[in-house]
Structure 1
């Protein structure tokens, strides 16, 4: 068990440190930091998962303090917390929507408390604290780009854009955190499903039938109402509406992915083609929007011909394959 535990620690630490030592791609790798925690929690239980988290925290904290980048500690805590929450809820057979909702609430609370604490120390509000943090990160990124051959003209445009972008990013921060957390959880759970099947020869019940998942039809009124709110002149209503639209766009994006995965599975599409399709969906903005629209239109079109009372698990033949 000791060997297995330290193997998990090594993988978890490697995932997270990728964000430090591998520019750009390392950030993508680091989002899988919760993955070993989820797998170990489900396979070995809470005690082993907590041991994994404690040792990982000690190792990574030592590294980031040695490199004098303590700001990464909050990012580490968020990822480890997400892994623990997902492992706990998955082990108790919570369904995927509940896991994502609870984890998103936890991430929002952690960020809110952290911003409040930093703001209190500096005697400024949460929004001002957030804007300062975003500006600092952007300026750090600009400095990094200077060493990677980015032209002066591009750097000037980026610097001049900060004054416009930062206030909006601060206003949309709740939605950005929610959407980012949901995507991180979804990716980790999808991959965890395959590893758990290889290790245990079984799939956790909450991770079965994901290609049949759909939102309740009545939720369609939320983005419709938010769309009207976004065109109102009132500032606070407009900001709330934009946040709601972003979150609901992500919800219907997941539903669109489930539809695509359903047809990939029923038509036995080769995995290489699936991988290319998902790659372009995630990295081509227009395709991301198209998939969200597909999920939204599924409310009326019912592309998978699911029974009305199935909630995504009805008369259509069940399958254990998921998105990806």
Structure 2
């Protein structure tokens, strides 16, 4: 996108056509569509900077109407709310940045919009099926677990391993149902965070650097979060189901926030040591696929409350 001429984005028709194409890709492509959907906030966010925000909003609404009609004709209109939520999240990202919200505000408000959209989906879907929203959550998780078991059964595994996976189905359904609220919050926050990082690189190439996001590598979680982290850990050990449910979900969300802080510290290290993009990508890739590295990064984020790793990195840089 950085190599496109600015006049392309100033043409309302072409911008509208681009948005419609992205919506169609997000709606209709079987596999790549999910990627387009996840990065729709980025598209709307960047377009608001490169073109007039008001015209971008009109183009977005027009695109949404056209795509909704097409999806309705294909009996797939259930996808339209997801497109609307992702698009409006991108517009909200731009608005919060323009209003000079803090990093927390820029991430939190669009994330709440996405979480709200997920909640409305299960509320409305439950009403359609005459079941409670939580029963619909269990139903969708059961379908997802069963689908994954069928996929695993096609792998070259021995019969005992496949049987073990099949026997663990009730436990997996119970586990993912219990942590579903935390998974929704984590997915929403991570989506907005990744979109902001990716958009930052695109905008930086055009000399646009929004003030609230100029130093994401310096970001730190609020100090009071540690008390929620500790309390949630204690609640997770309480045998009462409602208390344990709340504790587990709060603990996971707090841990994820510390993971983001750990990533910010890693990014700070890369910037101060001028690590090449290749090795940065390799490091982030290993973090993404290695569970122990994720835990280690989250631990770095947590202990930064007492150690302040960035201060020592600055000292090392000065010494060098």
Q: Which TM bucket (shorter chain)?
A: 0.7 to 0.9
1:201-247: per-residue Cα shift (whole Å, max 9, x none)?
12010110111111122221111111111111111111111111111
Which residue in the other structure is 2:269 paired with? 263
Aligned partner of 2:279 in structure 1 is 273
| Aligned partners of 1:64 and 1:70 also within 8 Å | yes
Question: 2: distance between equivalents of 1:286 and 1:234?
Answer: 30
Q: In 1, are the aligned partners of 2:235 and 2:243 still within 8 Å (CA)?
A: yes
**Relative to 1, partners in 2 of residues 1:67 and 1:142: Cα closer, same or farther, differing over 3 Å?**
farther
Unaligned runs of 5+ in 2: 1-10
**Equivalent residue, structure 1, for 2:175:** 168
Between structures 1 and 2, the one with greater helix share: 2
Alignment of 1:215 with 2:221, yes or no, is yes
Match for 2:55 among 31, 44, 48?
A: 48
Write the distance in 2 (CA, Å) between the matches of 1:152 and 1:75: 39
Tell me the distance in 2 between the aligned counterparts of 1:291 and 1:80: 31
> TM-score, normalization: structure 2?
0.83
Q: CA deviation at 1:149?
A: 5.5
TM-score (norm 1): 0.82
1:9 correspondence with 2:19: yes
1:21 to 8, 24, 30: 30
Structure 2 match to 1:84: 91
Deviations 1:86-119 (A, max 9, x none): 1221222222211222222222222222222222
Aligned mates of 2:20, 2:286 — CA distance in 1: 31
Structure 2 CA distance for partners of 1:280 and 1:126, relative to 1, 3 Å: same
Counterpart Cα distance in 2 of 1:74 and 1:140: 24
Between the two proteins, the alignment pairs up a number of residues equal to 305
- How is 1:215-294 mapped onto 2 (pairs within 5 angstroms)? 215-294=221-300
Aligned equivalent of 2:137: 130
**Please, what is the CA RMSD of the aligned residues?**
3.1
**1:32-73 CA deviation, whole Å, 9 max, x = no partner?**
121110011233343223234224424544565566544433
